[in-house]
Amino acid sequence: MTDTSPRPGDFAVVPMDGRTGRLIRIGQFLNGDGFSDYEHAFVFVGDGLLVEAQPGGAALNPLGNYDGRHVLWSTDRIPLTDDQRTAVTTAARSYIGTPYSFADYLALGAHRLHLPAGPPLRKYVASTKHMICSQLVDQCYRDAGVHLFDDHRWSGYVTPADLANLLTRRTGG
């Protein structure tokens, strides 16, 4: 189930079932995001396709994989020009095959806890060019010149809950 029809360049957040969803939910809570109902994010690139980071690497998949699930879209919440939409989708497609990294979760935790390992870990994560789902979304928007967060945080510090909170704050819902 979707709350609106997506346009190319829109992103979405969705709940994840199973053990992986529970682990992400706990990790987001420990990161200070609260217990969000959203544990995964992706970019819609048009023609019924999306780009999402997965443990096997970023992939182009059918949007139909999320039929029957609650999908919270950025449509009408994050205004984009046609040029920005094109740039977001071009960026998303360029990241297909980008490896996934659980080290990103360590970087998030170290940052949250203000551990001295944070900056070196962030540098390592950035150098490996691995991405988790929410990082991929934020990076695609940055590549298009759109900053989703006013605090200019590093894309590696963006969680699916951050994206969901951004969308719900913009609509008050």
Supply 51's token pair. Answer: 């780009």
Q: 0.85 cut: is pTM over it?
A: no
DSSP annotation string for 57-70 = --EEEEGGGGTTS-
Domain spans of the chain, in order of start: 11-165
pLDDT digits (tens, 9 = 90+) for 95-114: 999 987 665 655 655 556 55
Q: In what order do the strands lie in the sheet with 59-62?
A: 59-62, 49-52, 40-46, 11-14, 72-73
Give the pLDDT confidence score for residue 168 in this predicted structure. Answer: 86
> What CATH superfamily is the domain 11-165?
endopeptidase domain like (from Nostoc punctiforme) (3.90.1720.10)
Q: What is the pLDDT of residues 54-66, one digit of tens each?
A: 888 999 999 999 9
Condensed to tens digits (0 to 9), the pLDDT of residues 22-50 reads: 555 455 545 555 545 778 899 999 999 99
List, in sequence order, every residue forming a beta bridge with 59; answer none if it has no partner: 52
Query: Does the pLDDT at position 163 exceed 50?
Result: yes
The pLDDT value recorded for residue 35 is: 47
CB 39 within 8 A of CB 117: no
What is the number of other CB atoms lying within 10 angstroms of the CB of residue 145? 11
- What is the structure's pLDDT at 165? 87
Nearest to 93 by CA among 36, 2, 8: 8
Contact 146, 92 (CB under 8 A): no
The residues pairing with 13 across neighbouring beta strands, listed in sequence order, are: 41, 72
Most confident of 69-73, 124-128, 130-134, 150-154: 69-73
Residues 6+ apart with CB under 8 A from 155: 131, 135, 138, 139, 142
pLDDT tens digit sequence for 13-22: 998 665 554 5
- Scored b (16 or more CB within 10 A) or e, 82-100 reads eebbebbbebbeebeebeb
Check residue 173 and give its pLDDT. 45
What is the H or E stretch that residue 144 is in? none
Nearest of 7, 19, 17 to residue 40 by alpha carbon: 17
Question: What's the CA gap between 136 and 95, in Å, rounded?
Answer: 8
Token reading at 69: 């699930």
pLDDT at residue 6, rounded to an integer: 95
